């Protein structure tokens, strides 16, 4: 899997989770699955269950899967109040720490990023960006289950957020590559369709949608999505997908031979 890319603009990183973290995973789901033998699962309430933690709770997404009340009690109400007092509102404090989380991701410091995203969540449990940031961190887990659980919670708070739609859709395609369940494939495609509708300029989402169409056997639509992504950003191209597509159907535009 590609490491987090240092020294890139934070605003760009926030727009390219799928490109920076997930694009390579889609091209090699087997390697992703073999990364570890332990599988994380999502509980019915959306919390994440898994093996015995090896990190302090503050360095685990949502403090190890706690509800906000329990996490605040563990962190310390007075301590959280002191942090919030430095900002006009808790919502602004939450936004600040979420943005800091993305900064630390660009510096390849996922633990520090997790702590900042957790703070953002404690200060405002309705901050969808905190869930998305934690979903990015969770994408390094052996399976996409934890990332899907977190991104799903974020999307419930911001159902039209194009970035969450794109990231979650791509995560479902990754899981489809591991389990070949049509439900994940169809869910991934539907989410990516919504993402490209919400933001037609998201080049990475178009490439991932192309992969979804490829798995559905809709090669003409896959090529169309690839070309739309290419027109927006050449760096978004998934050459693994293009090679697979060429084996099924020549490029209608003749750009890839």
Question: Please, what CATH class does the domain formed by 12-34+161-257 belong to?
Answer: mainly alpha
Between 178 and 48, the more confident residue is 178
Q: What is the pLDDT of residues 59-107, one digit of tens each?
A: 999 999 899 999 999 999 999 999 999 999 999 999 999 999 999 999 9
Please state the rounded mean pLDDT for residues 114-139.
Answer: 96
Q: Which is nearest to 161 in space by CA: 137, 113, 194?
A: 194
- The pair phi, psi for residue 210, each rounded to 5°, is -60, -40
Q: What does DSSP assign to residue 254?
A: S
Under a CB-based contact definition with an 8 Å cutoff, are residues 80 and 89 in contact? Answer: no
Q: How far apart are CA 32 and CA 255, in angstroms?
A: 31
pLDDT band at 140 (very low <50, low <70, confident <90, very high): confident
- The yes-or-no verdict on residue 219 having pLDDT over 70 is yes
CATH (residue range 36-158)? 1.25.40
* Lowest-confidence segment of 30-44, 139-153, 207-221, 227-241 by average pLDDT: 30-44
Q: Would you say the CATH fold of 36-158 matches that of 12-34+161-257?
A: yes
Q: How far apart are CA 26 and CA 57, in angstroms?
A: 30
Q: Which residue has the tokens 């900064």?
A: 103
Whole-prediction pTM: 0.80
Domain coordinates of the chain in residue numbers? 12-34+161-257, 36-158
């Amino acid at each position: 899997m590609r490491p987090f890319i240092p020294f890139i603009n934070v605003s760009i990183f926030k727009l390219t989770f799928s490109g920076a973290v997930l694009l390579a995973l889609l091209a090699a789901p087997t390697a992703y699955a073999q990364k570890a033998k332990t599988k994380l699962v999502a509980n019915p309430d959306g919390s994440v269950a898994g093996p015995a933690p090896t990190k302090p709770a503050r360095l685990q997404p949502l403090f190890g899967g706690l509800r906000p009340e329990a996490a605040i009690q563990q962190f310390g109400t007075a301590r959280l109040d002191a942090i919030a007092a430095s900002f006009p509102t808790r919502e602004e404090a939450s936004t600040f720490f979420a943005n800091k989380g993305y900064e630390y991701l660009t510096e390849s410091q996922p633990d520090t990023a997790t702590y900042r995203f957790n703070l953002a969540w404690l200060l405002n449990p309705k901050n969808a960006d905190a869930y998305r940031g934690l979903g990015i961190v969770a994408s390094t887990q052996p399976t996409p289950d934890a990332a899907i659980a977190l991104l799903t919670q974020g999307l419930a708070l911001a159902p039209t957020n194009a970035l969450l739609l794109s990231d979650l859709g791509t995560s479902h395609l990754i899981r489809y590559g591991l389990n070949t369940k049509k439900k994940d494939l169809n869910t991934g495609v539907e989410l990516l369709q919504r993402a490209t509708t919400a933001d037609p300029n998201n080049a990475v989402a178009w490439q991932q949608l192309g992969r979804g169409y490829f798995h559905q056997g809709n090669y003409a639509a896959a090529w169309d999505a690839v070309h739309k992504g290419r027109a927006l950003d050449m760096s978004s191209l998934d050459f693994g997908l293009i090679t697979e597509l060429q084996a099924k159907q020549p490029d209608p535009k003749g750009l890839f031979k």
